[in-house]
Amino acid sequence: MKNKLWYDWKWQVQNSVTDIKQILNQKVTYNYNMRVTPYYMSLMKDDDNCPIRKQAIPSHKELEKNSINYEKYGIDITDSLCEKKYSPVSHLVHRYPDRVMIEVTNNCFMYCRFCTRKRLTKIDRKQNDLKSAYKYIRENENIRDVLLSGGDPLTLEDSQLEEIISTLKEIKHIEIIRIGTRAPVVMPMRITDELTDMLRKYHPIWINTHFNHPVEVTEQSQNACEKLINAGIPMGNQSVLLKEINDNVEVYKELCLKLVKMRVRPYYLYQCDIGEGLEHFRTNIKVGVNIIKELRQNITGFAIPAYVIDAPNGGGKITINPENIVEWTEDYVKLKNYLGDEYYYPEI
């Protein structure tokens, strides 16, 4: 039995581990922030292969130089997705015509070691100034969907979050608001009744969370998702394919099945982005394709996420499918099913 404070999200924030010396007696200074909640620490095993440990605890590998010559491909590893180029005003990224992402905060409950935004989250800023973002959204009527991202938007107080959501809600052409948050996974106590009562006033609100491994699905994280879903919020999951963490068919399948059992729809499986200090997390694309292929054969269709690569140099998300079209002529398409058998489908 944990004491009462354990279930209080503010206590979890105050008692988060922010210094490697709190865990290891090791004198290393790191280029990137560290922060882990006591809750997430409690899931950790004293084993270097622990998937929780690998996501949360800094490693000297983050300081190693990349072995691939990304420049040859015109890729700037400090901003491989070219978010700067697609950012017309500060804290807003507009890559697709009908939707924008806004970075409401730079803070996270936990700093994931594989994070693409590692450099941004280094700047400790609780709440970003969104005035110019609001103005931009108001003036662009083709924007109908706003994604609140960061950092983790739920690190804000309910009142700060409500101010952002209600401001967006007042803009006529905004049809949906969605939030990307890892709180259900690393800080499930953040999902309070006060929070869900506030969010349900602003429907349609959608939430995507970020489970990477089946051991992250605990009773508490399950309760957190259930609370959000029972408040009428559809939930999706975006995970990142991580070397020696979840790059395995059995592990990933177990995760997807656990997610649908708690009514969270697997949405995306991301190829780990290119960036500084991330190389030890990256897998080959073949690994992801093979996972999707195996899932297609074995589990419920809606338990299978789309495998996506956020293309370097600002290409946006590209879905990668196992190749199902074998041949494409004017008269027919030759298709291959999950068993590898081929079928002709006449064109109209």
Ligand X SMILES: *Cc1c(COP(=O)(O)O)cnc(C)c1O
Measured CA to CA in angstroms, residue 257 lies from 69, 210, 264 at distances of 38, 15, 10
Residue 152 is a binding residue for ligand SF4 (CB under 6 A): yes
272 carries a ligand binding annotation: no
Confirm whether 115 is a catalytic residue.
yes
82 carries a ligand binding annotation: no
Task: Tell me how far, at minimum, the Cβ of 333 lies from ligand SF4, in Å.
Answer: 39
Residue 125 is a binding residue for ligand X (CB under 6 A): no
Residue 121 is a binding residue for ligand SF4 (CB under 6 A): yes
Interhelix angle for 158-169 vs 131-139, to 10°?
Answer: 20
Sign of CA dihedral 203, 197, 212, 187: positive
Task: Tell me how far, at minimum, the Cβ of 323 lies from ligand SF4, in Å.
Answer: 30
Amino acid, single-letter form, for residue 253:
K
Confirm whether 197 is a catalytic residue.
no
Any idea what the Cα angle at residue 155 is, between residues 153 and 156, rounded to 5°?
75
What ranges in 145-202 are assigned the alpha helix state H?
Answer: 158-169, 183-186, 193-199
The Cα diameter of the chain in Å comes to: 69
Binders of ligand X among residues 134 to 173 (CB under 6 A) are 147
Q: Identify the residue among 20, 59, 79, 99 touching ligand X (CB under 6 A).
A: 99
How many chain residues are in contact with ligand X, going by CB under 6 A? 7
Confirm whether 96 is a catalytic residue.
yes
Residue 95 is a binding residue for ligand X (CB under 6 A): yes
Measured CA to CA in angstroms, residue 85 lies from 15, 90, 148 at distances of 38, 11, 19
Residue 182 is a binding residue for ligand SF4 (CB under 6 A): yes
Tokens found for residue 272: 């780990």
225 carries a ligand binding annotation: no
Residue 108 interacting entry, from ligand X, ligand SF4, none, C-beta within 5 to 8 Å by type: ligand SF4
Residue 282 is a binding residue for ligand SF4 (CB under 6 A): no
Catalytic residue among 82, 115, 225, 272: 115
Interhelix angle for 249-261 vs 285-298, to 10°?
Answer: 50
Residue 210 is a binding residue for ligand X (CB under 6 A): no
Cite the active site residues. 95-96, 99, 108, 112, 115, 117, 273, 310, 317
Site for ligand SF4, rule CB under 6 A: 108, 111-112, 115, 117, 121, 150-152, 182
